[in-house]
Amino acid sequence: MSLVKVTIDNIEVETEPGTTILQAARKIGGKGVPPAMCFYTSLEGSGGKCRTCLVKVTRGSDKDPRPMPKLVPSCRTVVQDGMVVQNITSPEVLQARRAITGFLLLNHPLDCPICDQAGECYLQDLSYDHGLAETQTIEERRTFVPIDIGDKIKLHMTRCILCYRCVMVADQLTGQRVHGVLNRGDHCEISTFITRAIDNDFSGNMIDVCPVGALTDRTFRFSSRVWLTKPFDAYRDCHKCSGKTVLWMKNDQILRVTGRKDKYGELESFICNDCRFEQKNVEDWVIEGPRIIERHSVISQNHYEQM
Amino acid sequence: MGKKLLLQHINEPGIQTFEVYRKMGGYASVEKALKTMKPDDVTEEVKKSGLRGRGGAGFPAGMKWSFIDKKSEKPRYLVCNADESEPGTFKDRYLMEKIPHALIEGMITSSYALGAKTSYIYIRGEYMYIVRILEKAIEEAYANGFLGKNILGTDYSLELYVHPGAGAYICGEETALLESLEGKRGNPRLKPPFPAIAGLYACPTVVNNVETIAAVVPIINNGGDEYAKIGIGKSTGTKLISASGHINKPGVYEIELGLPVEEFIYSEEYCGGIWKGRKLKAVVAGGSSVPILPTNLILTTAKGEPRLMTYESLSDGGFATGTMLGSGGFIVMDETASIVENLYTFARFYHHESCGQCSPCREGTGWMEKILHRIEEGRGSMKDIDLLADIAKHIEGNTICPLGDAAAWPVSSAIRHFRQEFEDHIKLQRCPLSR
Ligand SMILES: Cc1cc2nc3c(=O)[nH]c(=O)nc-3n(C[C@H](O)[C@H](O)[C@H](O)COP(=O)(O)O)c2cc1C
Ligand code: SF4
Ligand code: FES
């Protein structure tokens, strides 16, 4: 199959047909990659919702060179041969992204000082990169009471940006569907239907796919700021999953176990709840070595040389 | 008197029943189509008629039908959009309630054109009493051989179902409607793919408004060319207008497209003028979603030509000085109406109805409502006006479905044309007009 050529922010790249603009931009890498708060490669049907990845298509393709009338979600728009895209070179895109960041923060509690996700939060990064320095709102924020969904996962709905990733994990990865979105608009709630606990072997992955601090690990809660722990690649023989994880350690204690994420927050493979929640002794694992975190977030500020 | 094609027999006693409807010439289009025309000929007539979608967007119906993927092995569906939830719009209700067989007849003829063997009428849950009316009409059509197996002895068969929604404006958006019809949460889908390629159960599907489908009946009976003779340019045929607000005679009117707006508001045949001898202040011409226009711009275009009830004339001048025909929900406000108060009502509606999938609409609609509430109650600041306009601007065009636009347009147009009124609210710290 012949490759298609697409130009993003003046950089040309060749990709497989059927690739999205976002994937093509990730192939180029660097600053020109649109932020993606809801898209998740391995979750079918994800993306298109948060609108942070909007880009401008100034030329549709060689066949139909007309520009697209509106900004398009790069995560769900497939590249065409000869397409020209503007991301950070378009003031219009940056302006929209700033507005979208404002929308996402409008009802967000901004409780980073007491949030376990702080330091590895995509909303924090987005606000840092694209947000306004001052708030435009004096309105009261909508709030929800935190609830436990299952005995290992905490839901802070106030922090949720409704990316739907966790719903898709529950839907696509786990057998039984007990978790979805209730209500409408800004009263939407991620919820287990009638507070039924989520109880299956892979539910913990909902924590890993959550871009913000809405779903957190109850076995880790409040035990440390993430950037004070040191990540190590480790594995164990597991008959349920690949057993390949990251251990987040303080001294020789394992504070939390997660899957292995790339710089876009996407997991190499989903891991089982056994590995994630139950194996907190160093003897349970074979440690491969320190994990380098490629993200530009606070979390990458660990200094291995000081260990 | 303007020509009536849909509401012609509305006052005939018993027209709700099959017997009387049939006696008045009903179901002739089914006979004509099934016995003398090929499905593509029916589509061809609809194309010739110039009929445009009556649900709001005004997309040419015949063209939409011709997009349906006929090469696909999958079943094809026709889905009638009877969700009618746009504030100010109540024409479909009137048609279905008064003359239900007109819709059933249109469904059969249109389904035949599309090659659909199963079709649905998706109706808003609040119209429960109409569900019963339609189900009775469908029962009569089955009993008389116009539905079911081998209609009129031909080899065409059709099953028709009525499916009530659960009370959500968003389920009027065609892809949310399809999700809901499939039994899922009514969230709009990302497009492409469009329903003509992958609609209901991922099969080729056409979604049309009640009035669009009912209009197929006179088009097939009299021919597309005959239909196209009514109206002006690309606005052909007749249109149902739901007229409400400060007029002497609110109600549903069938007009010939091309009627001057001024005549529609002031003539005895239609709205009968502004009530209580008051002056006209503003009109929302096509349902709550379209830009509001002040008196001078609704009666004439910015160029000074008389404004006509057509898709083109109403949108003349773009959003700077024009609006849209939309679904034909014609809301009239007299000089005592508060624009800010009305806008706040609209904003509450859109906030309540946003599905919450995409962030600009989910968050922006609530934000606009809160600011408008503040201004209406006299707690606004001058900065709020620009902030409102800014929020609307950033919702518009950046959402998955047009509900975001629908929430933004009333706000930006009200500020554009009635900025002074916002400022008065803020300076006086109260609504200068509300009682
Ligand atoms: C939020 C929203 C609500 C809508 N509600 C309706 C409705 O109640 N009835 C309707 O016919 N079309 C409605 N539409 C338009 C439909 O999406 C679709 O365009 C229409 O049903 C197509 O039929 P038509 O081509 O015959 O107009 C709505 C659109 C949006 C975005
Ligand atoms: S624009 Fe509003 S209603 Fe439409 S998909 Fe987005 S959140 Fe839902
Ligand atoms: S990542 Fe594309 S819309 Fe959310």
At residue B179, does pLDDT exceed 80? yes
Q: For chain A, what is the mean pLDDT?
A: 91
Closest chain A C-alpha to B221 CA, distance in angstroms: 39
Q: How far apart are CA B154 and CA B33, in angstroms?
A: 11
pLDDT band at B224 (very low <50, low <70, confident <90, very high): very high
- Average pLDDT value for residue range A221-228: 86
**Residue B212 in contact with ligand 2 by CB distance below 6 A:** no
Residue A98, CA atoms < 13 Å, CB-side half-sphere: 15
Domain end position, chosen among A45, A74, A101: A101
Which residues span the domain enclosing A206? 112-217
Pairing status of strand A215-217 against strand B251-256: unpaired
At residue B209, does pLDDT exceed 50? yes
Chain centre to alpha carbon of residue A40: 7
pLDDT of residue B70: 85
Domain end position, chosen among A68, A101, A134: A101
Residues A116 and A212 in one domain: yes
Model pLDDT for residues B235-286, shown as the tens digit of each residue: 999 999 999 999 999 999 999 999 999 999 999 999 999 999 999 999 999 9
Residues A171 and A234 in one domain: no
pLDDT of residue A76: 97
pLDDT band at A305 (very low <50, low <70, confident <90, very high): very low
Q: Which residues contact A230 (CB under 8 A, 6 or more apart)?
A: A248, A249, A250, A290, A302, A304, A307
Residue identified by tokens 């929209």 is A96
Q: What is the dihedral of CA B375, B379, B384, B388, to 10 degrees?
A: -30
Kindly report the CATH number assigned to the domain that includes residue A22.
Answer: 3.10.20.740
Q: Which residues pair with B133 in a beta bridge?
A: none
**Residue B54 in contact with ligand 1 by CB distance below 6 A:** yes
Is the link from the previous residue into B193 a cis peptide, with omega within 30 of 0?
yes
Whether A307 maps to a domain, the answer reads no
pTM of the model: 0.95
Cα distance from N-terminal residue to C-terminal residue, chain A: 50
Is the reported ipTM for this assembly greater than 0.85?
Answer: yes
Whether A306 maps to a domain, the answer reads no
Cα distance from N-terminal residue to C-terminal residue, chain B: 39
Q: What is the dihedral of CA A38, A43, A45, A51, to 10 degrees?
A: 10
Structure tokens at B117: 């063997």
Q: What is the 3-state secondary structure (H, E, C) of A89-157?
A: CCHHHHHHHHHHHHHHHHCCCCCHHHCCCCCCCHHHHHHHHHCCCCCCCCCCCCCCCCEECCCCEEECH
Residue of B nearest to A37 (CA): B359
Say which residue, B71 or B413, is predicted with more confidence: B413
Q: Which residues contact B75 (CB under 8 A, 6 or more apart)?
A: B116, B117, B118, B203
Q: Three-state SS for A50?
A: coil
Residues A93 and A15 in one domain: yes
Say which residue, A224 or B123, is predicted with more confidence: B123
pLDDT of residue A193: 62
Residues A191 and A120 in one domain: yes
Structure tokens at B87: 């504030």
- Of A37, A44, A46, A51, which to mutate for an interface test with B (greatest number of B Cβ within 10 Å)? A51
Q: Which residues contact B430 (CB under 8 A, 6 or more apart)?
A: B377, B378
- Average pLDDT value for residue range B205-222: 98
pLDDT of residue A200: 78
Residues A143 and A177 in one domain: yes
At residue A304, does pLDDT exceed 80? no
Q: For chain B, what is the mean pLDDT?
A: 97
Residues A120 and A213 in one domain: yes
Whether A106 maps to a domain, the answer reads no
Exposed/middle/buried for residue A253 (C-beta within 10 Å: 0-12, 13-18, 19+):
middle
- B397 → closest Cβ in A71, A73, A104: A71
Q: How far apart are CA B162 and CA B100, in angstroms?
A: 12
Q: How many domains does chain A have?
A: 3
- B362 → closest Cβ in A76, A139, A185: A185
Residues A79 and A165 in one domain: no
| Amino acid letter, residue B343 | L
Q: What is the 3-state secondary structure (H, E, C) of B146-200?
A: CCECCHHHCCCCEEEEEEECCCCHHHHCHHHHHHHHCCCCCCCCCCCCCCCCCCH
